[in-house]
Amino acid sequence: TGYDVVKKICKTNNIELILVTIPNTPTMINTSKNEIIKSSGYRYVDIAELVGASEENSPWHDGLLSGDNVHPTELGRKLIAIKFMSDIPEMI
Q: What is the Cα–Cα distance from 29 to 70, expressed in whole angstroms?
A: 11
Q: Indicate whether this model's pTM tops 0.75.
A: yes
Per-residue pLDDT of the chain (92 residues; tens, 9 = 90+): 899 999 999 999 999 999 999 999 998 999 999 999 999 999 999 999 999 999 988 999 999 999 999 999 999 999 999 999 999 999 88
Beta carbons within 8 Å of 64's beta carbon, 6+ residues apart: 51, 52, 72, 73, 75, 76, 79
Q: What is the Cα–Cα distance from 44 to 21, expressed in whole angstroms?
A: 7
